[in-house]
Amino acid sequence: MSLLNVGARALMANQTVLQTTGNNIANVNTPGYSRQTVQLQTVESQYSGSGYIGKGVNVATITRSYSEFLTRQAALAGATSAGDTTRAEKLKQLESLFPAGTMGIGAAVSDMLNAFSDVASAPTDLTARTVALTKTNEMANRLRNTSTLLDDLQQGVKLELDQKTTAINTLATSIASVNDKIARATGNGQPPNDLLDQRDQLVRELNQYVQTSSVQATDGTTSVFIGGSQALVMGITAATVALSKDEFGDPNKTKLTLTRAGATITMNEDLLGGGEVSGLLRFQNGDMNEARNLLGRYTLALSTSLNDQHKLGLDLDGNTGGNLFTPATLGNLNIWPDSSNTGAATLGLSITDASQFAASDYEINFTGAAAGTVTRRSDGVVTAFSAVPIVVDGLSISVTAGALNGDRFLIKPFSTAASTIATEFSTPRALAVASPVAGMMGSSNTGSLQLANLSAKSSSISATDVVLTFTSNSTYTRSDIAGSFAYVPGQAITGGTPIEWSLTLKGTPNALDTFTVKQQPAAYRNLNSGNASAMMNVRDLPMFDGAAVTDGYASLIAQIGIRAMSADYSANVSNAIALTAEKERTGVSGVNLDEEASKLLQYQQAYQASAKMIQVASSIFDTLIQTLGR
């Protein structure tokens, strides 16, 4: 009977091994499945006078091939790859909104400025004026359309973030539920391999959305943390995540919050690590915000400069020019107080110098009623102030009474500029292309004096002529100011208080040569196009970080392109690392069909041998019974 018991035990053990091997083969393509292995142990031998006699084999346990280190590394690499890939894909979409060539904003700006060249050649030609207005309107439309496309992309990102936070909450609840099942099953003394695989797979899926870390408890449950140390799953309970605005209520920025036991914590974006949610937040709060600021700065600087120049001219009816574009309203949509402010101060925003703009938001931190710091968010540069208004980067920020220590404000000067730009008028006669100031060389001049530039700095020019009389080739006197002045070719000469005009001469004058600056004669106003030429010259103004207007759009798309290229490179690198990490994990935990097939043959033979052992034992028993029956 001992031989029969040994055979029966061997038969059952080998049947278990065959079943486990078959289960491995069946789950070769199951996501998250870890290869299982039957651990066999010998049955304690029976002592006899002749020694210890073996009693067969038992199944000790069924283990899964698993490396905690490789599993954790694969999940971490997968999270990093998911975040980088998501951000790179969105940056490609963002880059496509700023095309180069004839369809780009830069081409529209060039076409508009070139149209003023035709007006300068024929200032009374209504057709040329109409074309210039049409090109101006087209440029404004392209800027507005690009802003609308940015809004559409922003809305798409917001929808994705909503979907992914819902997925995070679902996965967290599932992990907590599996934790509960594992804790119950662990009490029987054997590892619940399938449940452990299920939990690991859920954690891997969670890492696709947000990077996690985990700690295992003695009861078999695993607690999952995000954002460094915030518990998303604690044992068998799960917290919930949601999206909210930042402390300033900025509608274009989003924060991830976590709520547990009624307490809500705002997550630090820098601590989220990888995952698609992190990638989307980095894109929305960083890349998208910079693109809006670049577009808004380009729009506001260009429209402000052209408006200022247009207002210095005279239209076809001799009237002073107005705004070419509807001026941007810098108010409540650009200033966001911190929700925790205790003071009563309000801020105002105005432009002092469009050429000094920096494509950035600003954070104002008050230490007193009229003191504190301004932080340029694009590069972190901090500027202290001890008086108001606050002047920074071509902007003036006014402050009413009531600011208290600790009050903070977010200034977004460029957030709405592109969405609201439009031409101010539609009649071609209103184009102010004539200059209100004129210049005239003396009729008896004998030197080589030439006019390099004469531009108005005010729409109101004094009716009193200003005559420059040269006393030598290097000195002159003025009819409006007593004294002698040094003449330097190419150096600007200004007149009026405040300044009404700027004059630049070149060449060498002789003594008694003259040049007269005067109000544009009414008879020549319709024929003059000095302000049209001045508007064309706006293209050469150093306005965008030292770059001219003609290079401003190229600089814009270059900055976005660099971000997109860098993100694509990071995505490729992190994806390669993630593939390697997953390959190493599956090398330990995955199912190899060739290996399992060889095991199947091995254990099949062992099963057949066990069955033969039982047959032999049965035959011996039958022979014994027959012998005893005689």
pLDDT tens-digit profile of 159-187?
Answer: 999 999 999 999 999 999 999 999 998 87
C-alpha span between 270 and 130 (Å, rounded): 52
pTM of the model: 0.88
In this structure, the chain runs to a length of 630
C-alpha span between 283 and 264 (Å, rounded): 24
Tokens 């393509």, located at residue: 29
Sorted by sequence, the CB contacts under 8 Å of residue 102 that are 6+ apart come out as none
CB 399, CB 390: distance < 8 Å: yes
* Exposed e or buried b per residue across 416-446, where buried means at least 16 C-beta atoms within 10 angstroms of its C-beta: bbbbbbebbeeebebbbbbbbbbbebbeebe
And the tokens for 461? 């020019």
Question: What is the torsional sign of CA 165, 169, 175, 179?
Answer: positive
pLDDT of residue 468: 96
pLDDT of residue 10: 82
CB atoms near residue 64 (< 10 Å): 17
CB atoms near residue 14 (< 10 Å): 24
pLDDT of residue 297: 94
Which of 537, 530, 541 has its CA nearest to residue 454? 530
Residue 566: what are its φ and ψ, rounded to 5°?
A: -65, -40
Contacts for 626-629: CB closer than 8 Å, 24+ residues apart: none
CB neighbour class for 456 (10 Å; exposed up to 12, middle 13-18, buried from 19): buried
Which residues of the chain have a pLDDT value below 70?
A: 1, 629-630
pLDDT of residue 1: 47
- The whole-chain average pLDDT of the chain stands at 91
Residues facing 438 on adjacent strands: 518
Task: For residue 432, give the 3-state DSSP assignment.
Answer: coil
pLDDT tens-digit profile of 472-490?
Answer: 999 999 999 999 999 999 9
Q: For 125-236, where are the alpha helices, taking DSSP H only?
A: 126-186, 193-207
CB 106, CB 100: distance < 8 Å: yes
DSSP string computed for 296-312: HHHHHHHHHHHHHHHTT
DSSP assignment, residue 478?
A: E
CB 383, CB 360: distance < 8 Å: no
Sorted by sequence, the CB contacts under 8 Å of residue 590 that are 6+ apart come out as 35
C-alpha span between 276 and 289 (Å, rounded): 18
